Amino acid sequence: MNFVFQREFSNAMDREGEELSVLCKELGINFYPITIVPFEHTFVEADTINNLEGYTVAYGSNVMEIVSNNCGWDPGIFKVAHDEKSVHAVFGSDYINHDMLICNTENYIDRIKEAGLYETQYYFMKPNDYKYFPGTIVDKKMMPFVIESQGRRHGTPDVYDLCISPVKYIKAEWRFFVVGGEIVDGSKYHAEEFRLDVQAGFKKEAGEFAEKMILKFDGSGTFVIDIAEMQDGNYKVVEINGLNSSGFYKIDKKKLLVALKNLSEI
């Protein structure tokens, strides 16, 4: 198995890359750090590893999917349908934003008024399917500012879909890495009011709920699922993400690499 890791993206990722390099050597996994050329979707080391043969997993920013596709790495990226509509369709009321509105950058105020939510104090807002700006908690006054200041980047269309829902308050949130339908490990990363609280391990009940949701979504897939414990003690799916660009927090990276290597040998 080959593991291609993006370096020089952030200091934190470079430190993780050093740790992963040691683990890959220990596990007999070929490790290839690469430096992506900004805006070109190419990388500095192209002459030496552009045509890697065999099972190859890529990890880094979202641009790694383009690089992986261009290089023909197999599988390269574990693709997963994780837009709001598809996630909502699978999980229904088990999804934290099951009451979201799908609107766009032109009609969002009208849609909020139609839904009787115009007087709500705070909203959770994010683009549907795209990364024009991260999921953000806003009030009505902030909405146009977020769209204009963060969403108007190179290549951003004038009109795109938004997902808006009332803010939900959580007690804790965990991220679970799933390989071949099985939880490899999980890590806490949020406490109440979405305060960062990164800790290794996970609550038993959160893991049990995650297992049920994995079966609903893709019982043999490879992806990341985030689970929240709500203020009332119930659990909800926060989101599904691709494994290749999701932060590790404090999961056991060795367990993850072993699971990926085992998957490559099936």
The pLDDT tens digits of the residues spanning 122-174 come to 999 988 877 788 888 898 889 998 888 876 666 788 889 999 999 888 999 99
The pLDDT tens digits of the residues spanning 4-28 come to 999 988 888 899 999 999 999 999 9
The pLDDT tens digits of the residues spanning 70-121 come to 999 999 999 997 777 788 889 999 999 898 999 999 999 999 999 999 888 8
CA distance 5 to 32: 6
Any residues with CB less than 8 A from the CB of 172 and at least 6 apart, and which?
A: 188, 190, 191, 192, 197, 203, 206, 228, 229
Using pLDDT thresholds of 50, 70 and 90, give the confidence band for residue 195.
confident
User: What tokens appear for 209 in the block?
Assistant: 């709920």
| 104 touches 159 (CB < 8 A) | yes
| Higher pLDDT pick, 48 / 198 | 198
| Higher pLDDT pick, 224 / 43 | 224
pLDDT at 151: 66
pLDDT at 153: 67
pLDDT at 154: 63
CA distance 244 to 8: 16
CA distance 150 to 128: 15
Nearest Cα to 131, choosing from 242, 23, 52?
242
One-letter amino acid identity for 74? D
The pLDDT tens digits of the residues spanning 202-257 come to 999 999 999 999 999 999 999 999 999 999 999 999 999 999 999 999 999 999 99
- Residue-wise burial string across 184-199, b where 16 or more C-beta atoms lie within 10 A, e elsewhere: bbbbbbbeeebeeeee
**Topology at the third CATH level for domain 170-264:** D-amino Acid Aminotransferase; Chain A, domain 1 (3.30.470)
Taking the model in full, what pTM does it have? 0.89
**What number of CA atoms fall less than 13 Å from residue 174's CA on the CB side?**
26
| 213 touches 227 (CB < 8 A) | yes
Identify the CATH number of the domain defined by range 2-76. 3.40.50
Average pLDDT score over residue span 173-190: 97
